[in-house]
Chains A and B, each alone.
Chain A
Amino acid sequence: MANCILAVGEVREGQLKKITWEVVSQAKRLGAALNQPVCALLIGSGVNDARKPGEYGAATVFVADDAKFARYSTDGYADVVAKVARECGACAVLLGATAMGKDLAPAVAVTLETGVAADVTALAVAGGEIAALRPVYAGKARVTVTVATAPFMATLRPNVFLPEAPNAGAPVEVVKVDVSGITPKAPVTLFAAAAGGKVDLAEASIVVSGGRGVKGKAEGDDQALHGQFQENYKLLENLAATLGAATGASRAVVDAGWKPHSFQVGQTGKTVSPNVYIACGISGAIQHLAGMSSSKVIVAVNKDPDAPIFQVANYGIVGDLFEVLPKLNEEFKKALG
């Protein structure tokens, strides 16, 4: 007897992450369509704000708060999710399609003997059955899928499912999960934060991304090109600083060794769907377009008017990025004043 939608939140260092509100809010919308209440689950150590998922629609918040969950473990966290999903009789289990959710969902699915619709961008209910829309081939196509087994499971792409307006007065029950029987076998032992408190590419609502064009007219040996690219890339970093944006790069730039792979947007890099994607000196190879064309608004700056990037851009500027970017930065500063 299925009797709730389970939304798995995300806790880092005791703090709830933004994806939690997106997952709980979508669980609320799904619960309304299926006439099911929403349960949230938080796993961590020293979890703050355990009642807060209630503001987004959770009637019950299950909390697995124990020192052994201070850091992530695939098996330990999966055991907790599977236990709670069984005990609360979840007919659907939703997670974020984040590093954690993508790793956790398949492990949970094996235990619950079900399947996962991964990286979903829309959910719909028809005839009591949940259908999920998800991109494949890095967004070159999309498929509608159902899960033939129960419970339905999905990971939700970040930045796609908007959080509900929080209702501070909503009643919520917090329930402690008995985790005495669960021992993580291979936990994370260390987390090294990326330098400088930069905005993460996959989580950013604005992305400024650079391609081969950022090299400019520089010629010379590898070291000279590398140096010139870094110098020119500061134009993008300045713009990103104004906008609170993350910075990214095309595959050509990563393959040349000018930026690490963590910057790569595209089919063999990250798929991003920010509110604004600003492509600078990126021609728009099909692999790149696959990774960013689900962005809400695309701005392109390129000197080649025939560059394929202009076919997906909402707003394109044909021109020299070395002239255009400083002007854009000035205008954004004025606008955000």
Chain B
Amino acid sequence: MKTVCCIKRVPDTTTRVKVGAGGAAIDRAGVEYVVNPYDEYAIEAAVKLREQTNGECIAVCLGPPEATKDLRTALAMGADRAIHLVDENAETRDSFSTAKALADALRPLQFDVAFFGKQSIDADNYQVGTMVARLLGIPSASVVVGMEVQGNTVVCSRAVEGGVETIPLPVPCIVTCQKGINVPRYPALKGIMSAKKKPLESIPAPAISNRVVVSKMELPPPRPAGKVLKGDAAANAREVVRLLREEAKII
């Protein structure tokens, strides 16, 4: 099968967010960037399916020039080639402008299954994969925690409130990955060496207007200072339950 994994470059989870000078995005100074954690599952799923079916795996990223590093990671994990849609300001794109550019790049690839992370951990929109599917007119399943390929059908398990849904998707289709779907491999030294020689095509990402416009970014208000109790466990337990009832009025 021909598989695709779409990845995003995002600030590491340990980042302490500061608002940047424009007041509508983060201050990028000193921020460590990584492959979006959920996209690691997408890479693993795409590479694994390519190995099982002796097909081809293409890694795609809409990101700033530095994102070639993240595409090399995907190549080191086993993708055969990469396409980089270059946009210096990729971070300021909304879900639709990202999805539209990706859909146009994916359309000519004639893929069977394209994998995305279920959300990026920066903007938390969880929309891009589903939008790409709708733009391409193919079925999708989001937040997928398990997957089995049966002929030309990808049977997905999707985590929802109170249980798991089963959705069989005929190919071509799109799957957005949640932790649990697989265990991403670490790139082996051999993979890292060979990744340097694999083809990586860079093309400018088309400019597409944002539909969702950010006017302001701010830090959440600090939580009011709390009460910290020390000493006798029984007395403290009694006091906390009293405070929940009488002060917070919540129990």
From known contacts A137-B121, A141-B26, A313-B228, infer whether A186 and B169 are also in contact, taking CB-CB under 8 Å: yes
Tell me if B164 and A192 are in contact (CB < 8 A). yes
A251–B146 Cα distance when bound, in Å, is 20
Segment at the A interface, from B64-72, B185-193, B236-244? B236-244
Among A74, A203, A313, A314, point to the contact of B140 (Cβ < 8 A).
A74
Among B15, B168, B220, B227, point to the contact of A315 (Cβ < 8 A).
B227
* B149 sits at the interface (CB 8 A): no
CB nearest neighbor in A for B178: A261
List, in ascending order, chain B residues with CB within 8 A of A117's CB: 212
List, in ascending order, chain B residues with CB within 8 A of A336's CB: 251
Among A268, A275, A335, point to the contact of B179 (Cβ < 8 A).
A268
A147–B127 Cα distance when bound, in Å, is 15
Tell me if A145 and B126 are in contact (CB < 8 A). no
Q: Is the interface of A mostly helix, strand, loop or mixed?
A: mixed
CB nearest neighbor in B for A336: B251
Tell me if B223 and A331 are in contact (CB < 8 A). no
Tell me if B217 and A317 are in contact (CB < 8 A). no
Q: Range of interface residues on chain A?
A: 35 or more
The smallest C-beta distance from A262 to any residue of chain B, in angstroms, reads: 6
Among B19, B162, B251, point to the contact of A276 (Cβ < 8 A).
B251
Tell me if B233 and A316 are in contact (CB < 8 A). no
Tell me if B220 and A139 are in contact (CB < 8 A). yes
Tell me if B17 and A332 are in contact (CB < 8 A). no
Tell me if B250 and A100 are in contact (CB < 8 A). no
* A105 sits at the interface (CB 8 A): yes
The smallest C-beta distance from B100 to any residue of chain A, in angstroms, reads: 9
Segment at the A interface, from B74-82, B105-113, B153-161? B153-161
A95–B9 Cα distance when bound, in Å, is 29
* A187 sits at the interface (CB 8 A): yes
From known contacts A78-B134, A193-B162, infer whether A142 and B218 are also in contact, taking CB-CB under 8 Å: yes
A193–B161 Cα distance when bound, in Å, is 9
Tell me if B228 and A305 are in contact (CB < 8 A). yes
List, in ascending order, chain A residues with CB within 8 A of B140's CB: 74, 107, 186
Q: How would residues 107 to 144 of chain B score, 1 for a CB under 8 Å from any chain A CB and 0 otherwise?
A: 00000000000000111111110110111000111110
Tell me if B161 and A200 are in contact (CB < 8 A). yes
Among A111, A136, A324, point to the contact of B124 (Cβ < 8 A).
A136
List, in ascending order, chain B residues with CB within 8 A of A324's CB: 233, 236-237
Residues of A within 8 A of B (CB): 71-72, 74-75, 78, 98-100, 102-103, 105-107, 109-111, 114-119, 131, 134-149, 185-194, 200, 202-203, 260-262, 264, 267-269, 271, 275-276, 286-287, 293-294, 296-299, 305, 310-320, 323-324, 327-328, 330-332, 334-336
| Given A99-B159, A298-B226, 16 additional A-B pairs, CB 8 A | A100-B160, A103-B142, A110-B99, A136-B122, A140-B15, A141-B219, A143-B218, A146-B212, A148-B209, A191-B164, A191-B166, A194-B163, A286-B13, A298-B223, A319-B233, A323-B233
